[in-house]
Structure formats: structure tokens, C-alpha cells
Amino acid sequence: MPLAEAVALHASERPHSPAFRMEGRVFTYGELAAGAKRILSAVQRSAAEATERSILSGPVRLVALETGNHPLFPAAFIAATAAGHCAALIDPHLPEIVRRRMKERLRPEIVICAEGDLLRIDVPSAGQSRLLQGASDAPPPIPAGDGGEPFLVVFTSGTTGEPKAIIRNRRSWRVSLKTGQGFFGLGPETTTYAPGPLAHGLTLYALAETLTAGAEFVGARHFEADQALATIAATGAKRLVLVPTMLRRLCERAAGSPLTSVGQITVAGAKLTPADREAARRAFPEAQVTEYYGASELGFISVSRAKDRHTPTAVGKAFPGVRLEIRDERGERLPAGETGTIFVESELIS
């Protein structure tokens, strides 16, 4: 189910259930849906003022989100990825010159930035800027869009350090979210704590899969281990989504005070060591650790769980629906045990 449709459904069935929490601000599903509609209305009005088109071909409008981990990010993301719109995520912590080059290449019709507790909507080509505040009249519903339509631009540094844009269509994420919900066992009760940057794939995807499942997502403006442990305990978070460095810091600070509410830990971004897994077992004794290997342009590739028998350097088995082959320089498939180039085939590829 598309994210916008899922949030609208949860808002109609459980409007008072918490959807998003960040450092004291809590948004219910009803509030999240209403906020997304309000932002979409403002985006549509502002887009009509744009005098130049973005790098995207066709009728899709490009909306750059440069808010960072802001309490209004989820509502802005839902609005910016509505039908006819594509969101480009720009991390505000990048150097200003890098962000400027990113926007010069993409030429977004709309740029949404943080302005204290509010959001600011800029129309660069028209030289217009306004604060988003107050309720709009008769806000529109959030249309989900066609599966083949581009909806997300993310950036990866690759091997050069210069951010490269990757465009995803809606279908790739819809397939991924549907498969992942069953694979990871996500439901309305799976409160998820993921303190990483929402402009990056790991945390952004955790937000999307949590909201699609109708659960509560708990984020943070900045990661600090002691504060994170207090948040996990206070919210009763059942799942953590982290990079290994965050997990190591949590395990160090939790020494002698294990947290038993956590049942799942999902890790990506770098390889876990056997020592990492042992530290996680002591700090979160009830948690099953799942490690996955993926890429912004490929989605999930492989996944490993604690029950899997593999060597410490292995990256696990192919994610459901993903087909892997090792081929030689001529493109011929190699037998098991040989070294070659990894080829990935799946519906999750950008």
C-alpha cells in the first residue's frame, strides 16, 4: 500500500494513535494526515508561481526537502511525494557550497527548509519565500500516484565524494515495503526508534515502513547515547534501526542496565563484528539482531539474522525477491566459491 494511502487509512481508523515523536513533540496519525494535506496545499499554490522547470522530464514537480530532522519532516515528506510531485532530500548539514551545487543541478521548483518550529517554502525561480503556518481552506486529499512515476531523489557519494542523484519510482518502494513488512514482522505495535538523519536512506526507509505499518516512529534531532537510552526506555521502543557506530555507543552506555523492551535491532551501513553482536546481546537481551546489506540505488540486497549460520565476514542471504549472480569478466556465471562481479536483479532497483 502506498505510504500516503496507509497514513490516510490509519488516520481514519485510529486518528489518536501516535505516529511520529521527536524530542517532546508527538503527532498522531490524524494530525500527521492533516499536516500533510496543509503542506501539500501550500506546495501546490507555490508551484504555480515557478517560472522554470526542474531537471525531471514530464509533468512531475520536484520539491527539495532541506529540513533535516525536523518534527514536521514526515508531513512534508508525504506532501512532497504526493502524485505529481517528487521529493529530493538534501541534508542541511552538508557544506553550503555542496548543497548549492546539488540544487543547481536539480533545479527544484520548490525548496522546503526549516525555520525554527515552522517550515519555509521557497520558489527559487520566482524569488518567492513564505512561512508555512496556519490551516488552509479545504485542504486536498493526498493522491498516491502511479507506480512508474518518479517520487524520490536521494544522493550517494559513491567513490568520488561528490553527491550523485538517484531517482526512484513509486513501484520500487511499494514492492519493498510490502515484502519488508512481512519479513521484518512489522505491525501497529512495533514502535521504532531510529535516530539517524532522515535525509539518508536507512532512517528515511525506517520512517516509511513504520508509518505504513501503522506504528509509532521515534526520531531525534541529534544522536546522543544517554539521551537515546532514556528515550528507548520512556517510549518502550520495540525496534531499533541503527548504524553500527550508534549500536556500539548504546551498548557501551547501557553496560549493567540492559533494556528488555527491545525485541528487534536492524543494522545497516557497515559490517557488524562478533563482538558487536555479543555486546548487543548483553545490552538488549531480548532483541534479535538483523543485519542487511543494501545500497541507495539497489535497495535491499542481502540480509542476515542471528540464527543464520555464516562466517563473520558474510553479508547474509539474498533478500526475498532479490536474485544474485557472480559473473566473470565476460559476463558468464561462475560456480560457488569463485571470485567475480556481483550482479543484482530485483524490482527494488532504482
pLDDT digits (tens, 9 = 90+) for 283-298: 999 999 999 998 888 8
* 142 and 243 fall within a common domain: no
- 260 and 142, same domain (yes or no): no
Asked whether residue 274 falls in the same domain as residue 190, the answer is yes
Q: Are residues 113 and 252 in the same domain?
A: no
The pLDDT of residue 306 is above 80: no
**Which residues are within 8 A (CB) of 25 and not within 5 positions of it... i.e. 6 or more apart?**
71
Rounded CA separation 312/182 (Å): 26
Alpha-carbon distance 41 to 142, whole Å? Answer: 10
pLDDT the model gives residue 245? 96
pLDDT surpasses 70 at 136: no
Check whether 158 has a pLDDT greater than 60: no
Instruction: Check whether residue 79 and residue 184 sit in a common domain.
Output: no
- Angle (CA) 93-4-119 rounded to 5° is 35
What tens digit of pLDDT does each residue of 10-51 get?
999 999 999 999 988 999 999 999 999 999 999 999 988 999
Mean pLDDT of the chain: 91
CB 64 within 8 A of CB 49: no
**Residue 327 within any structural domain of the chain:** no
Tell me the pTM.
Answer: 0.92
Amino acid symbol at 320: P
The answer to whether residue 330 sits within a structural domain is no
Residue 326 lies in a domain: no
Asked if 123 and 240 sit in the same domain, the reply is no
Q: What angle do CA 328, 167, 128 make, to 5 degrees?
A: 155
CA 153 – CA 163 distance, rounded (Å): 11
- pLDDT value, residue 201: 87
Last-in-domain residue among 99, 133, 168: 168
Confirm whether 256 is domain-assigned.
yes
The verdict on 294 and 306 lying in the same domain is yes
Asked whether the predicted pLDDT for residue 137 surpasses 70, the reply is no
Q: Nearest-5° angle of CA 77, CA 83, CA 85?
A: 60
pLDDT for position 336: 87
Q: Which residue, of 151, 168, 185, is where some domain finishes?
A: 168
Is 192:182 a contact under the CB 8 Å cutoff?
Answer: no
Rounded Cα–Cα distance for residues 316 and 221 (Å): 32
As a whole number of angstroms, the distance between CA 173 and CA 167 comes to 12
257 located within any domain: yes
Instruction: Give the domain extent around 202.
Output: 172-320
Asked if residue 43 lies in contact with residue 79, where contact means CB atoms within 8 angstroms, the answer is yes
> Which of 152, 168, 184 is at the close of a domain?
168
Question: Is 88:111 a contact under the CB 8 Å cutoff?
Answer: no
Residues 308 and 162 in one domain: no
Residue 327: per-residue pLDDT: 96
- Burial label, 274 (beta-carbon count in 10 A; 0-12, 13-18, 19+): exposed
Residue 237 in contact with residue 193, Cβ under 8 Å?
Answer: yes
Query: Does residue 2 fall inside a structural domain?
Result: no
All three cell numbers of 144: 498516491
What is the spatial distance between Cα 176 and Cα 274, in angstroms, rounded to a whole number? Answer: 28
For residue 349, being part of any structural domain is answered with: no
Q: Kindly state whether residues 159 and 255 are assigned to the same domain.
A: no
CATH number at residue 88: 3.40.50.980
- Are residue 148 and residue 194 in the same domain, yes or no? no
Model confidence band, residue 255 (pLDDT cutoffs 50, 70, 90): confident
Q: What is the DSSP letter of 51?
A: -
> Based on the domain organization, do 306 and 196 belong to the same domain?
yes
pLDDT in tens, 237-250: 999 999 999 999 99
Same domain, 147 and 177: no
Task: State how many domains the chain has.
Answer: 2
